[in-house]
Amino acid sequence: MRHSVSTVLAFAVALAACGGAGGGNAAPPANAVSANPAAPPPAGPVASTLIDAPRPAEWRLVWHDEFDQVGGSDLPDPSKWDYDTWGNQGGWPNNEQQYYARARRENSRVENGMLVIEARKERLDSAADYGGQAYTSARLVTRGKQDWLYGFVEIRAKLPCGVGTWPAFWTLGSGGKWPDDGEIDIMEHVGRNPGEVSGTIHTLAYNHTNNTQLGASIRRDTVCDSFHRYQLTWTATQIKIGIDDKSYFQFSNPGGADRAKWPFDRPQYLLLNIAMGGMLGGPVGDTALPARMEVDYVRVWQP
């Protein structure tokens, strides 16, 4: 099938019995269908060509969280972030092993001007929705708070490298139907392959369930030691995913008003999380826990 993709980005991954996005053992809310960026695995070919992709100078900042709140709660700003917990009791797709806690400082907090998402080895037996998980973490979402149609999205973050960790920064279509409403994985990293960062898109035509998801990866050996900027440029004609103003994955609108190939003409919301284990994360190395993702800021610009 011919489609418009700049660079060589299409890849197929054999998938057998995946609990993937939209799957799992619990029926999620209609607007929270994907448990984590679709798996396994999101990484495409390592990009050999990088394209300069700085933020367009004329675009304006329309939303941001600098995590610099003073006084009051040290939890993430509730006017900007909610939490996904729907899969805790019945189990998360992709065979993930974490319990996602809501507004629990041990798993998500603002500390020294940073958002910290922390995965821990512990069992929350006392939680009403506890599903027997051996690990806790957090998944923050802007769903119900804010979504966007087109823009330049950037997060500055330092990633965990513990074996079994699976941090991600991504979007889902606000319509709530996966994969019809699309998914954009701006950053994924797994601890068993430290330094390889991936970007992926999923649509009805291009997704892991039919082995046609599209993506690429790039190596940056310092992602767990220092902060990098993970970026999405999204317009009506193209999606570009990059790091530090360099795009390594580009996907162009194939035209023809075919939403199976391009559902990215409607709003998407943001998600931030650390998953544990599962089909992409792999076996968990308990000695690497607790593991932290530190986020300096999240910003969104639009034309």
Catalytic residue among 96, 118, 188, 294: 188
pLDDT tens readout for residues 110-145: 999 999 999 999 999 999 999 999 999 999 999 999
Q: Is 66 a catalytic residue?
A: no
Q: Is 183 a catalytic residue?
A: yes
**Which of 202, 130, 205 lies closest to 168, judged by CA?**
202
Catalytic residue among 96, 118, 154, 183: 183
Q: Which two tokens stand for residue 150?
A: 């087109």
CATH code: domain 51-302 is 2.60.120.200
Please report, for the chain, the start and end positions of each structural domain, with discontinuous segments joined by +: 51-302
pLDDT tens readout for residues 270-302: 999 999 999 889 999 998 899 999 999 999 999
Q: What is the pLDDT of residue 46?
A: 66
For 10, 50, 206, 240, 256, the CA distances from 6, given in Å and listed in that order, are: 10, 11, 15, 10, 18
d(CA 130, CA 140): 18
Give Cα 150 to chain centroid, integer Å: 17
pTM of the model: 0.87
